[in-house]
Amino acid sequence: MSVYKPLMVNESFSHLQRRTALKAMGGVSVIALLGFPQITMASEVTQQGWRWCSKCQGMFYAASSGAMHMGVCPAGGNHIQTGSGHYLEQTGIDDPKKSQAGWSWCNKCQGFFYSRASQGAGGMGHCPAGGTHSKDGSGNYIALIGEDGPRQQGGWRWCDKCMGMFYSRASAGKGVCPAGGAHSDAASGHYATLFTP
């Protein structure tokens, strides 16, 4: 039985050379914003600064500035990025074979959550900073559909309790959900996220 974990900063990706990574990126822009992850461009953009929190298993934006730059973790305190790989999230539109639109950055907890659920019974989801998630200032993100592949890590799932994206392969379990208990992947599709070696 294999034990899966999120990508670690010092893991070797000898099969992925710099030139291969640049070719794989094609015409997609890679940007690193120092402030909040607000995207105003209409075209697809790939954004650095996303990390996995080993306390709650959630995806969060770690490159924000100010007092809330590490967000609020449902496991207590702030999210931590120790041991996390360097993840990328993209803006874009629905492509049923490759991606799902409707994902946002929460300006309260720094988490990555499904905001299109607000059109149904799920609402905006429980936020560990209190109340529901807020997509104010967020870009229109997509989540990749699939599992492991070149420059992407599978095992990411949507929690139907808090609407957040979490890593389901962690040896520590499904993490801590701000709605109570562990995250639930019962209604989730299979998602992946891009990484940089």
Lowest pLDDT segment from 4-18, 31-45, 104-118, 173-187 = 4-18
Is the predicted pLDDT of residue 41 greater than 90, yes or no? Answer: no
- Distant-in-sequence contacts of 173-178, Cβ < 8 A, 24+ apart: 173/57, 174/57, 175/53, 175/55, 175/56, 175/57, 175/58, 175/75, 176/55, 176/56, 176/57, 176/73, 176/74, 176/75, 177/56, 177/74, 177/126, 178/74, 178/109, 178/126, 178/127, 178/128
Is the predicted pLDDT of residue 73 greater than 50, yes or no? Answer: yes
Question: What are the pLDDT digits (tens) for 83-97?
Answer: 999 999 999 998 988
**What SS3 string covers 17-45?**
CHHHHHHHHCCCEEECCCCCCCCCCCCCE
Is the predicted pLDDT of residue 166 greater than 70, yes or no? Answer: yes
Determine the pLDDT at residue 65. 77
Quick check: pTM over 0.85? Answer: no
Determine the pLDDT at residue 76. 97
Determine the pLDDT at residue 172. 84
CA distance 18 to 180: 42
Is the predicted pLDDT of residue 54 greater than 60, yes or no? Answer: yes
Is the predicted pLDDT of residue 18 greater than 90, yes or no? Answer: no
Determine the pLDDT at residue 63. 92
Average pLDDT, the chain: 79
Question: What are the pLDDT digits (tens) for 113-163?
Answer: 999 875 554 578 999 999 999 999 999 999 999 999 999 999 999 999 999
Is the predicted pLDDT of residue 3 greater than 60, yes or no? Answer: no
